[in-house]
Structures are given as structure tokens and as C-alpha cells.
């Protein structure tokens, strides 16, 4: 076998995920952003040595194969080393959101202790910055799990015998316990088998057509599926150069992300739609002087509803420097499918579509037609973006309420099956729920159009009006348009309480009083899309007040429960419009 992948010998779909540790190259590696403007580089050959030392340190903890090890590590290289160290040592990593990404300090310990209760780890590994949080969360959970620091494990491995690599890893054994981003607020661990993890990474490689000439750059948090599998696992196990920023570094200066493509020749990234529109607002054409984006061949968009207006702003910024909008690749995925489910074909671009109405009964046509190309055409907030076709080994069907498959262009629930489907959940009370291998109903609504998947919204974040579903995401897109807010500053909570259908509108603003003259427009827009009978209170809050999941989606169900309990303490009632 060659020491590293060559152009004639790229990684294949069934490439074992740990083979890179024995074939690691000194010519490619991991670039981690420093706190200032530089990058710390570690070749994959050196990184592999550190992984093996850490794995030996884990084995010195007297763990059994398959034991869960919770990782509370925020520094990027330490995270990479500890995660791959768990896989190599034969234990099951379970990753936790760093404190810095959790919005409310007083809720972090409760959040972590809930995850620990569900995961029941044999060991908790914490970075020095997280040790106190880890110890407190273990105490609250009542578990006997010991807490050790990353440094202690590493030093133990350096002083002890070499790692003992397990003889085999049965495809059905759990490789990863991946907690979903938590829109409901309840801890829910997804059991991802070795077979599913290997299959999904292989499917992503095939979809993207990865070659050794590719270079990956991203800013997503590494503990969650899109950053963990799409950004870290796929790139490192494929042996391609990888640049990683933290989310905080990206927010402070998105130009560092853009620099990876214009200056260092990165070719692939993945980001929510927000990342592109945010970079368009914060980076100026003058900042791009001398950059060349002509090698940037894939820019994946996922994790949230894609905003074609904001993406077009990014294209207008980057196109004069060689960026091709055909590089923009819409995708759909979820932790229950390990990560990726569908994706637009690279170089084809992602289609825009308009629908006559998504407020229809499941199984009814939405009247959709193709209407442009993402990035090239500006579109509106009402446009839906195609998320492509199923990746290899996966099957996507759209079903009505009775479980029957609906025709092309008809609305229904997205259901997935195939080689990347996870085994099931572990819940907060440690109950295990197995997925139906014949098809897992995702709770997402969408439709297929000429083979491409279009995602409308979460079924749990909608309400039926006269037999038809109305989705919060549709209302949010419309309210952003009529109120002049940026994407992500509006959340709509839909539900029924006190015998009344309600649409609670939350708007982030530094000046709540500025919304007073727009309340009538906001309320009339909501009622036009729902019913004149809807109660529609409008609240304003500070920037960042909308509670979000780790992937940036509004935690609508958590916010709805807070509303019912009178717990919207971070919000000011802008005005209350009663029922007509």
C-alpha cells in the first residue's frame, strides 16, 4: 500500500476510517487557527502519533471495548486527537457542546448532566477549560463517572505501553453516540454504528468526488454532526489538507475563513446558509484584493433553510475574484442518518423553486416549478432551494399521514432508509428506541421535484389550519421580508393554548420600539398565511435572545413551552393583537 493517497489511488467509499493512522503523510495535515491571524500546522504523520499516544492513555484507564467516553474538549487539535483516540482504543466517543457555544451559563450544567445521564459514560475526558463544568455536571447527574483531563490521558499514554488495537470492529457495534442538537430540549443520543459511519463518510467522498488535490476549510463546531463528520472525519480520513477555525473565530472575523480559499487554495467547505450571508456583510471587496477563488469547487449549504438572497450577496462579493455559483451545493442531512442524506451534484449548482403554496394537506401538490439557480439568481425569501438527490446507499421517500408514498411535487414527510441509517436513540431515562430499517420518519416536511428533494420545514414546528399544514419556517421567511430583518432574527412559535390558535412572533432587535410601526404588517402577514382567528403577540428581544440548537436552528418547542409557562423573560411584549 502507498504511504499516502495518490491521484491514482484516492480513498474509496469503503475505506476504513482508521487506515489513515498507518498511511499518514508528512506532506498534508491539520491547520488550526491561532487566536490572532496565524495557523498552527500539524502533519497527519505527527497527528497520528498523538492519536496513538492518547488511545494508549485511554486503555490505561481500564476501559472495556464499547464503553462510552464523553468528550468535553473545545480546543480543535485536542478534540481531533481525543475523538480519533477513542475510535482507535475501541471505545465509543460522545461529544458535548463547549461552554462557550451555550447561550445561557445557568443552564449549561443542567444541559450536560442530562446528556451524561443518557450516555452513562465510563469516563469523562475534559479540556482544562472544561474540567470544573464536567465535575459539577457529573455530580448533578449522580453518576460515578470519573473525570480526567486531556493532558492526564495524554501523559498516561506517553508513559505506558503502546495502544492495543482491537482485533475487529463489527459493523453493528456502536462507533459514535451523537446527541442531536436539541430542538425539543430533551437529550437524545443517536447510536451510530461502525457500518453506518463508514458508509456515510464513503458516500460523502463519492458525492464530492474527493481527490488528494482537494483542501478543506471550515468553521463549524466539531462536536456536532455537520462539523464532526462532514468537516473533520471526511477530510482527515481522506488525507486532504484541512483548515479549521472555531465558530467564535469565524464570528469575530469571517475573512479568515474566506482567506483559506482565496489565499491558500482551499477547494471545499460546508456551512449553514448563515455563514455565506454573514461573510457577505462583514467582508468587503477591498479585503479580497489579490485573492483567487477559481479553485473553490464546492461550497455546501445545510443545517438550516437556505436563504437565496443572502447567498446571492456572497456570490456578488466573491464572483469578481473567480467564485462560480455552480459551486454552491444544497444538501440535506440529520444525525439520525449519521449526517448526509441528499446533495446537489457538484458543478451543477442548486436549483431554486417556487411553490404555489406549501399550505396544503400532506399528499397534495404544492404547485412547484424550477425558477433559477442558487447564487446566480437573487430569488426571494419565498424560494425553496433544491437539496439534491440521495447519496449512495440511501433511499428517500416522501409519505403522507397514512404512510403512503406521495407523487412527485406533493408535500409529505421525508422518510429515509439505507446503509447510513443509525440504529436508534438513547433517551434521557436510558431507554433505547430502535429505528425501523425499512424507513425512519424524520419529522421534516418536503417534496421531490424531478428527483431533487426540497425541504419545507419541521412537522413538529407547524400547525394545521383547515386541514393543511402551516410551517414556522415559511412564516419566518415571509416576516423577514416584510419587516426588513436579516435572516435568523425572527422566530415564530405555532401552537394552541387556552382554546386559541396562536402564532407567537419573536424578533431580535437592539431597539424594540422600532417595531411599533410594523406590528400591523407583521400581524396581518401571519393571519394571511394562517387564519384571521389567530392570536398573534409580537415580542422583541436583544440580539441572540432566540434560543438555538447547536446547528443554529430556533428551539421553537422549548420557546413555546417557555411562553406557556410565562418564561419569556428575555423578551419585551411589543404589542398584543387580539383576535379579530
DSSP notation for 36-71 = SS-EEEEEHHHHHHHHHHHHHHHHTTTPPTT-EEEE
Instruction: Decide: 507 and 484 in contact? Cβ < 8 Å.
Output: no
> How far apart, in whole angstroms, are the C-alpha atoms of residue 298 and residue 303?
16
Alpha carbon distance 340, 188 (integer Å): 19
CA torsion angle for 248, 310, 446, 343 (degrees, to 10)? -70
Burial bucket for residue 172 (CB in 10 Å: 0-12, 13-18, 19+): exposed
Q: What is the pLDDT of residue 517?
A: 67
DSSP state at residue 293: -
The SS3 call for residue 431 is: coil
Q: Three-state SS for 129?
A: helix
Q: What is the pLDDT of residue 574?
A: 77
**Length of the chain measured in residues:** 580
In the chain, what are the domains? Answer: 466-580 (3.30.300.30)
Q: Which of 94, 68, 79, 334 is nearest to 200 (CA)?
A: 334
Q: Map residue 260 onto helix, strand or coil.
A: helix
Taken in order 510, 516, 521, 527, the sign of the CA dihedral is: positive
Query: Which grid coordinates are listed for 488?
Result: 435568523
Phi, psi of 228 (to 5 degrees): -70, -50
Q: Are the C-beta atoms of residues 526 and 536 closer than 8 Å to each other?
A: yes
Closest CA to 546 of 498, 502, 489: 489
Give the orientation angle of helix 273-282 with respect to helix 308-318, to 10 degrees: 50
Residue 508 contacts residue 545 (beta carbons within 8 Å): yes
- CA 244, CA 367: separation in Å to the nearest integer? 42
Tell me what pLDDT residue 512 has. Answer: 57
C-alpha to C-alpha distance for 482 and 205, rounded to whole angstroms: 41
Give me the pLDDT at residue 63, please: 93
Q: What is the structure's pLDDT at 468?
A: 67
Q: What pLDDT sits at residue 185?
A: 55
Q: Which residues are 548's β-sheet partners?
A: 554
| Angle CA 243–19–45, to nearest 5 | 50
Gap between the Cα atoms of 347 and 195, Å rounded = 29
The SS3 of residue 402 is: coil
Among residues 323, 321, 330, the alpha carbon closest in space to that of 297 is found at 323
**Backbone dihedral angles phi then psi of residue 553, each to the nearest 5 degrees:** -85, 145
The pLDDT score that the predictor gives to residue 66 is: 92
R_g of the chain computed on alpha carbons: 23
Dist CA 41 CA 32 (whole Å) = 6
Residue-by-residue pLDDT tens, the chain, 580 positions: 222 333 334 444 445 899 999 888 889 999 999 998 899 999 999 999 999 999 999 999 989 999 999 999 999 999 999 999 999 999 999 999 888 766 666 678 888 999 999 999 999 999 999 999 999 999 999 999 999 999 999 999 999 889 988 766 788 899 999 987 554 456 789 999 999 999 999 999 999 999 999 999 999 999 988 999 999 999 999 999 999 999 999 999 999 999 999 999 999 999 999 899 999 999 999 999 999 999 999 999 988 788 899 999 999 999 999 999 999 999 999 999 999 999 999 999 999 999 887 777 788 899 999 999 999 999 887 789 999 999 999 999 999 988 999 999 999 999 999 999 999 999 888 889 999 999 999 988 899 999 999 998 877 677 777 656 677 888 888 888 777 777 778 888 887 776 678 888 988 876 656 666 678 888 888 888 888 878 888 888 887 788 877 667 788 877 887 887 787 877 888 765 544 3
Helix (H) or strand (E) holding 112: helix 105-119
Count of Cβ atoms closer than 10 Å to residue 377 Cβ: 16
pLDDT at residue number 3: 29
Rounded (10°) angle between helices 44-59 and 76-89: 60
Q: Please, are residues 114 and 137 in contact by the beta-carbon 8 Å criterion?
A: no
Say if CB 344 and CB 350 are below 8 A apart. yes
| Count of CB atoms situated within 10 Å of the CB of 248 | 14
CB–CB of 573/537 below 8 Å?
A: yes
- Strand ranges in 359-499 using DSSP code E only, listed in sequence order: 368-373, 384-385, 389-390, 394-399, 412-418, 424-427, 432-434, 440-449, 452-458, 462-465, 468-471, 490-497
Q: Is 210 helix (H, G, I), strand (E, B) or coil?
A: coil
Positions of E strands within 267-327: 268-271, 298-301
User: What percent of the residues of the chain are helix, what percent strand, and what percent coil, each to the nearest 5?
Assistant: 35, 30, 40
Strands 368-373 and 490-497: unpaired
Q: How many other CB atoms are there within 10 angstroms of residue 88's CB atom?
A: 23
The secondary structure of 325-391 as a DSSP string is GGGEEEEEE-GGGSSEEEEPPTTT--EEEEES-S-S-TTSB--EEEEEEBTTB---TT-EEB--EEP
Going by their DSSP bridges, the two strands 92-95 and 68-72 should be labelled as: parallel
The CA distance from 543 to 276, in Å, is 19
The answer to whether 352 and 370 are in contact (CB under 8 A) is: yes
d(CA 327, CA 571): 40
Amino acid at each position: 500500500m502507498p504511504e499516502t493517497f495518490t491521484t491514482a489511488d484516492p480513498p474509496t467509499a469503503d475505506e476504513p476510517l482508521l487506515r489513515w493512522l498507518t498511511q499518514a503523510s508528512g506532506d498534508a495535515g491539520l491547520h488550526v487557527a491561532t487566536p490572532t491571524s496565524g495557523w498552527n500546522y500539524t502533519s497527519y504523520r505527527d497527528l497520528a502519533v498523538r492519536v496513538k499516544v492518547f488511545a494508549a492513555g485511554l486503555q490505561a484507564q481500564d476501559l472495556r471495548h464499547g464503553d462510552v467516553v464523553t468528550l468535553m474538549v473545545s480546543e480543535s487539535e485536542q478534540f481531533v486527537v481525543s475523538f480519533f483516540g477513542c475510535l482507535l482504543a475501541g471505545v465509543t466517543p460522545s461529544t458535548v457542546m463547549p461552554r462557550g457555544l451555550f447561550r445561557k451559563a445557568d443552564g449549561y450544567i443542567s444541559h450536560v448532566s442530562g446528556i451524561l445521564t443518557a450516555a452513562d459514560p465510563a469516563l469523562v475526558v475534559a479540556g482544562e477549560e472544561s474540567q470544573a463544568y464536567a465535575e459539577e455536571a457529573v455530580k448533578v447527574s449522580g453518576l460515578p463517572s470519573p473525570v480526567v483531563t486531556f493532558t492526564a490521558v495524554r501523559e498516561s499514554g506517553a508513559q505506558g505501553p503502546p495502544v492495543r488495537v482491537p482485533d475487529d470492529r463489527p459493523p453493528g457495534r456502536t462507533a459514535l453516540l451523537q446527541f442531536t442538537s436539541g430542538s425539543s430540549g430533551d437529550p437524545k443520543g443517536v447510536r451510530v454504528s461502525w457500518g453506518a459511519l463508514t458508509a456515510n463518510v464513503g458516500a460523502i467522498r463519492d458525492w464530492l468526488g474527493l481527490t488528494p488535490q482537494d483542501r478543506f476549510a471550515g468553521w463549524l463546531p466539531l462536536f456536532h454532526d455537520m462539523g464532526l463528520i462532514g468537516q473533520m472525519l471526511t477530510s482527515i480520513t481522506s488525507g486532504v489538507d484541512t483548515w479549521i477555525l472555531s465558530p467564535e473565530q469565524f464570528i469575530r472575523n469571517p475573512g479568515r475563513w474566506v482567506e483559506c480559499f482565496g489565499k491558500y487554495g482551499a477547494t471545499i467547505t460546508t456551512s449553514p446558509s448563515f455563514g455565506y450571508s454573514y461573510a457577505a456583510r462583514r467582508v468587503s471587496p477591498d479585503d479580497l484584493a489579490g485573492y483567487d477563488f477559481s479553485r473553490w469547487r464546492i461550497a455546501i449549504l445545510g443545517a438550516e433553510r437556505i436563504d437565496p438572497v443572502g447567498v446571492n450577496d456572497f456570490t456578488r462579493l466573491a464572483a469578481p475574484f473567480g467564485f462560480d455559483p455552480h459551486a454552491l451545493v444544497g444538501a440535506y442531512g440529520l444525525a439520525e442518518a449519521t449526517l448526509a442524506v441528499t446533495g446537489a451534484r457538484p458543478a451543477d449548482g442548486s436549483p431554486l423553486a417556487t411553490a404555489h403554496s406549501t399550505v396544503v394537506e400532506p399528499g397534495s401538490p404544492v404547485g412547484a416549478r424550477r425558477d433559477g439557480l442558487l447564487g446566480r439568481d437573487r430569488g426571494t425569501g419565498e424560494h425553496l432551494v433544491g437539496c439534491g438527490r440521495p447519496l449512495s446507499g440511501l433511499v428517500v421517500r416522501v409519505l403522507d399521514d397514512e404512510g403512503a408514498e406521495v407523487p412527485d411535487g406533493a408535500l409529505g414527510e421525508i422518510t429515509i432508509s439505507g446503509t447510513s441509517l443509525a440504529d436508534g436513540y438513547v433517551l434521557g431515562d436510558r431507554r433505547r428506541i430502535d429505528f425501523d430499517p425499512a424507513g425512519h420518519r424524520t419529522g421534516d416536511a418536503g417534496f421531490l421535484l424531478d428527483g431533487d428533494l426540497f425541504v419545507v420545514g419541521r412537522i413538529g414546528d407547524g400547525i394545521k389550519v383547515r386541514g393543511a399544514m402551516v410551517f414556522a419556517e415559511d412564516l419566518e421567511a415571509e416576516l423577514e421580508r416584510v419587516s426588513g430583518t436579516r435572516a435568523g432574527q425572527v422566530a415564530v412559535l405555532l401552537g394552541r393554548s387556552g382554546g386559541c390558535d396562536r402564532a407567537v412572533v419573536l424578533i431580535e432587535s437592539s431597539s424594540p420600539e422600532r417595531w411599533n410601526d410594523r406590528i400591523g404588517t407583521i400581524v396581518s402577514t401571519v393571519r394571511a398565511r394562517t387564519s384571521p382567528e389567530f392570536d398573534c403577540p409580537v415580542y422583541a428581544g436583544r440580539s441572540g435572545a432566540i434560543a438555538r440548537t447547536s446547528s443554529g436552528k430556533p428551539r421553537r418547542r422549548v420557546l413555546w413551552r417557555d411562553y406557556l409557562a410565562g418564561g419569556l423573560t428575555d423578551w419585551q411584549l411589543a404589542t398584543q393583537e387580539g383576535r379579530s
